[in-house]
Amino acid sequence: MKYFSFIASFIILLAGISCSSGGKKAKVILGDDTLTTGTIHISVDESFAPIIDSQIKVFMSQHPQAKIIPHYRPEAECIKDLLNDSIRMVIITRGLTEEEVPFYKDTLSFVPLYGRLATDAVAVITHNNCKDSLFSVSDIRSMLNGTSGYSYELVMDGLKATSTVRFLMDSILRGQPMKGKVMAAQNSEGVIDYIASHPNALGFIGVSWIGNKEDSSQMSFQKKVKLAALQCARCEEEVYVRPYQANMALKRYPLNRGIYYVLKENFAGLGKGFVNFLTHEKGQLIFRRGYLVPDRMALQIRKANVSE
């Protein structure tokens, strides 16, 4: 009996050593959802709310036993949600960095999947009676760093660290501090409302809030404010363009950015089912119909002559 007791104790000890040396158990484990059934929560950059709402609506209409609950937040909060056990997936403006990959591998015991879905843009909006509607990237930079001759108040799309603020800091200011007359609205819709009532303000929002001419709510937004045109990034002549689909696809509009998913799932669950939908034909067509640029399908652009 002592011999068998010793053997049993030895096996338990080996099992404990194996668990501790072989790495931590994954935080995300097999759930009761499948590719097309169940309920999951996802965290989404607030600037993508209109287009992701459309995607979720169509996906759930095709899969009645699936329920995807989005939480729209500033991008920094979405990234923090990757460590939240209740959040299965985030949709933001970037993938994981080289520094984040080993961190999440150590924390979760696997690397979350991530990839690009479509191209979005940061739109500059003005009051309908604003005398200026053409700006260069240099104009925007000088307004942001407080060296401009313009006296506009600059309005951002959130009270915390949003993807729009990060994009402007990284791509326009390139690490310089933001010293201009900058204020924050509650969210993207708050920016539109503020600009509509303040002629001396410029707003910065994701184009999916105002770029879809077939969305009734966005049509009402377009009546409140107008889109400013920025100097073309790839034109030989001095041409100013708005964040329309063709200009984004041809990279003529200078404030393009990506829409990415990061999936924290290590089994074939509903998160993967939704990613499959977003990256294949139906989801990509919704991005195209929403006047964004799909990343996984070809977008035909045709020249046309317009006579007045």
* The model's pTM: 0.86
Rounded distance, CA 26 to CA 46, Å? 29
Neighbours of 23 (CB within 10 A): 11
Which residue in this structure is represented by tokens 């990839």?
115
- For the chain, list the domains and their CATH numbers: 38-119+257-294 (3.40.190.10), 121-256 (3.40.190.10)
Category of 280 on φ-ψ map: left (φ > 0), alpha (ψ -120 to 50) or beta: beta
Integer-rounded Cα radius of gyration of the chain = 23
Burial class (CB in 10 A: 0-12, 13-18, 19+), 238: exposed
Helix (H, G, I), strand (E, B) or coil at 76: helix
Helix (H, G, I), strand (E, B), or coil: what is residue 90? strand
Residue 21 pLDDT: 39
In a 3-state reduction of DSSP, which class is residue 172? helix
Distances (CA, A) of 5 to 9, 101, 261: 6, 44, 52
Which residues lie below 8 Å from residue 153, measured CB to CB, with a gap of 6+?
Answer: 181, 182, 183, 198, 200, 201, 202
* Residues in the chain where the model's pLDDT stays below 70: 1-31, 298-308
Q: How far is CA 69 from the centre of its chain?
A: 16
**Cα–Cα distance between 189 and 238 in angstroms, integer?**
32
Total residue count of the chain as it appears in this document: 308
The alpha carbon torsion through 286, 220, 192, 153 (nearest 10 deg) reads 120
Check if the beta carbon of residue 273 is closer than 8 Å to that of residue 38: no
Predicted local distance difference test score (pLDDT) of residue 298: 66
* Closest CA relative to residue 118, chosen from 301, 280, 5, 303: 280
Q: What is the DSSP letter of 190?
A: H
DSSP 61-72: HH-TTEEEEEEE
3-state secondary structure of 235: coil
